Chain A
């Protein structure tokens, strides 16, 4: 690839930054421009709901790379600038600061937090997706005693745990009767519910917020069973929407994410990585969009390889994620669709440390680690050796 080639990357978070860095490390000599709407240098989102919410880390601890490393890469990092449109014919991205011409374009705009349907914005109502959200939320918690978290998935669970660490009284409301934990689904629900309750969280499952109370500032919420929960702060962790609004009219296929092929190509010379990217499912039917850090990194590495070599890189990326609740490290690797049972293969569930295999019939489709990270890694390695399609493999402990 010659020095005259130019790559524009939209989104300056883990997916966008990793693409830029990997292009350079791989010897790409062209110009690299990374456009990011947020004013901050690239930072990790996972600590926002963990160490940062709990008040254990400063913002600097969450930096993706030190300033010197970023400068040494020779990329143009254009922060505080939003992409507003794409002209695929002229190969131009429109931004709030003008036009950017590209030879290759990488779209890494992630997702935004869905808000609770609310006509006029109430003070005390928060979501948690960005560093600014975290700053706003933690500032608001200073005078609060009771917090309601709406949404009992991974994010809502982590937020509840972080708030408990800060000494707040927490009510966690979840629409489903079980706690659905990312790709693991309901498999861990009883254990998660137990963990929350042991730590003093008031769990309200099978319910949702129908109305918020308060005039200027939130005072609580009415739930779907008619009950009222008093709260000084409400945090919505009720899902996310892909950031594709700026691609309207571009001709790219948009429906719950930006559609691309297994090498991340949405069109000729246009790629998508990370939370925004919808790709064909490994099973061959349907498509998936994965919202995990590891997935964003692996897709970014592959797209950088495709751009710099010209050969499509389509690795089979098996979803992996981790979470931490009240000091319990939860890890999951695999595609859990259809899994209905969890078979403990290492450790002891009663002691709060185990590795489980998620079974779909008699076939293992995923591995779950609960406070047993080394054994989790060993179990997971058995899947990766040999066929990459763990869905087809029987696990032999």
Chain B
């Protein structure tokens, strides 16, 4: 599963890091940093959770 983030839209909530800290981090301004742009089978669910909880819908997943 491919992961993309839109840093312009990100509001720094940290919701994604709470859901999947293997995939996401935040810089000092809170803006999302993508740690890996692919999620293997073990991380699909947490990637999905991060994307659906993001209040700015700044995370896009594709197969």
Contact = CB atoms under 8 A, between A and B. Distances in A.
Interface string B5-48: 00011011111011000000010111000000000000000001
B26 A294 contact: no
B15 to A, nearest CB: 7
A293 B58 CA distance: 14
A380 B14 contact: yes
Determine chain B's interface SS by DSSP, over half rule: loop
B14 A46 contact: no
A224 interface: no
B52 A301 contact: yes
A329 B29 contact: yes
A376 interface: yes
A102 interface: no
Q: By DSSP majority rule, is chain A's interface helix, strand, loop, or mixed?
A: helix
A322 B55 contact: yes
With most chain A CB atoms within 10 A of its CB, the pick from B12, B26, B28 is B12
Contacts of A282: none
Given A376-B14, A377-B17, A377-B18, A65 B57 contact: yes
B1 interface: no
B26 A377 contact: yes
A331 interface: yes
A380 B26 CA distance: 15
B57 A373 contact: no
Interface string A241-276: 000000000000000000000000000000000000
A374 B53 CA distance: 17
B55 to A, nearest CB: 5
Most B-side CB within 10 Å, residue of A46, A64, A320, A377: A377
A331 B29 CA distance: 12
A373 B55 contact: no
Contacts of A329: 12, 29-30
Closest 4 CB pairs of A and B: A373-B30, A377-B14, A373-B12, A294-B55
